[in-house]
Amino acid sequence: MSMEQHLDNRLNGLNDEERMMQLVERTRSRFAKFIAADKDEVAITKNASEGINIIGNAIDWRPGDNVVLCRQLEHANNILPWLQIRDKHRIELRIVEADAGAIPYDAFVKAIDSRTRIVTVSTVTMVPGFKTAMEPIAEACKRAGAFLLADASQSVGILDTDVTRLGVDGLVASSYKGLMGLYGLGFLYCRREWADRLSPAYLARFSVDLGDAPESAPIFDSVKLRAGAPRFEIGHYNFAGVIAVYASIGQLMEIGTLAIEQSVTSVARRLASGLLDLGLPVCGGAPGNHTGSIVALGDPELAGSREFDNRIHSLHEHLSENQVIVSVRRGMLRFSLHLYNTTDEVDRVVALAKNWLA
């Protein structure tokens, strides 16, 4: 179904729910294939933030349990849920310090012990946008029996993603970033072995298995949770968002995630090298294994000083005036690239930066 047809149906009061529910299931299957998971390991959510909260509140916490994270490099939405859980359940937050803007996997490994219930980390940080070495953290989590939760908002759809290779137990993503969909829709991957032993904090019609009974069937004293990750789904779905992301994931799959990653990282490396050649402070220095789809200008330790911030905002203004879409995050200038960005565009950005320096 097209977006136009669905919106016309809503406008005219025509009920297309049955067809849309079928598309929901096809979209679930398509995303599962996209990350090399099984269909019943995927829940449809509103966004990545909801996925994080779902997992955090499905754990049977005990006082003294701990969560390991790098607070400096996580988005607020991967910090706030853990602060609430800490205060509610009297658990410990073990904060790993960033290392020159990168997530230090060795420090994560050292912080994990027998009381660690969840380790949460971004596959690619919001800023400065370095890739995280997930495998050593995954191995440590497996040894300790801890749940490894990955925020893949900055990588899914851009970098090739295989949940088995990454070793994660859970992964969250929103559809409006790398998946090129709309706001208000996301996905939660939860490995089947974990999903079946987690207890959802909330229940709604689509959380439970009523067999062949219709949605409107009455529910009495007992319910059976759906198998796998769909047990975490609450309420009805964002059908417009489903239509959009079903189409966009299909296009991404036609191109191939390996080809997308190769293209994007190549362009990102070209941009980083060009800016470095101008003497600009590219986070992480020369391109390397840490380079993904994000290039950031600035120094986390200098961000906040008036002179430094003024220079960043001056360059941001210059680029914006020349129709370059770029953002300032935590005092750093962030370039976020995708498959539609070209070497010509990167060269133009470098030329504009050179003009600004002059």
Q: Candidates 3.40.1080.20, 3.40.640.10, 3.40.1350.10, 3.40.630.20; correct CATH number of 3-255?
A: 3.40.640.10
Domain residues of the chain, as ranges? Answer: 3-255, 257-357
Amino acid (1-letter code) at residue 21: M
Instruction: Kindly report the number of other CB atoms within 10 A of residue 211's CB atom.
Output: 6
pLDDT of residue 217: 79
Residue 81 preceded by cis peptide, ω within 30 = no
Task: Show pLDDT as tens, one digit a residue, over the chain (358 residues).
Answer: 788 898 898 889 888 888 999 999 999 999 999 999 999 999 999 999 999 999 999 999 999 999 999 999 999 999 999 999 999 999 999 999 999 899 999 999 999 999 999 999 999 999 999 999 999 999 999 999 999 999 999 999 999 999 999 999 999 999 999 999 999 999 999 999 999 999 999 999 899 988 877 777 778 777 889 999 999 999 899 999 999 999 999 999 999 999 999 999 999 999 999 999 999 999 999 999 999 999 999 876 666 667 667 888 999 999 999 999 999 998 899 999 999 999 999 999 999 999 999 9
Are 112 and 68 in contact, with CB atoms under 8 Å apart?
yes
How far the first Cα of the chain sits from its last, in Å, is 52
Angle at 32 between CA 30 and CA 38, to 5 degrees: 125
The whole-angstrom separation of Cα 308 and Cα 242 is 42
pLDDT of residue 2: 87
Q: How far is CA 137 from CA 55, 132, 311, in A?
A: 18, 10, 37
* CA neighbor of 134 nearest in space, from 163, 114, 113: 163
pLDDT of residue 317: 96
Q: Which CATH architecture has domain 257-357?
A: Alpha-Beta Complex (3.90)
* CA neighbor of 227 nearest in space, from 211, 215, 209, 213: 209
* CA neighbor of 75 nearest in space, from 176, 147, 160, 150: 150
* CA neighbor of 203 nearest in space, from 65, 74, 103, 54: 54
pLDDT of residue 308: 67
Sequence-distant (≥ 6) Cβ neighbours of residue 48 within 8 angstroms: 77, 151, 152, 153, 172, 173, 174, 186
Are 246 and 295 in contact, with CB atoms under 8 Å apart?
no
Tokens 């909330």 correspond to what residue?
Answer: 202
How many Å is the Cα radius of gyration of the chain?
A: 22
pLDDT of residue 49: 98
Tokens 């849309």 correspond to what residue?
Answer: 20
Helices (H) and strands (E) in the chain, counts: 12, 10
- CA torsion 12-14-19-21 (nearest 10°) is 90
Are 237 and 22 in contact, with CB atoms under 8 Å apart?
no
Q: How far is CA 346 from CA 274, 296, 321, in A?
A: 8, 14, 16
In DSSP notation, 254-309 reads: HH-HHHHHHHHHHHHHHHHHHHHHTT--BTTSS--TT-SSEEEES-TTTTT-HHHH
Q: Look up the pTM and report it.
A: 0.94
pLDDT of residue 302: 65
Residue-wise burial string across 71-90, b where 16 or more C-beta atoms lie within 10 A, e elsewhere:
ebbbbebbbebbeebbeebe
Amino acid (1-letter code) at residue 354: K
The whole-angstrom separation of Cα 241 and Cα 186 is 9
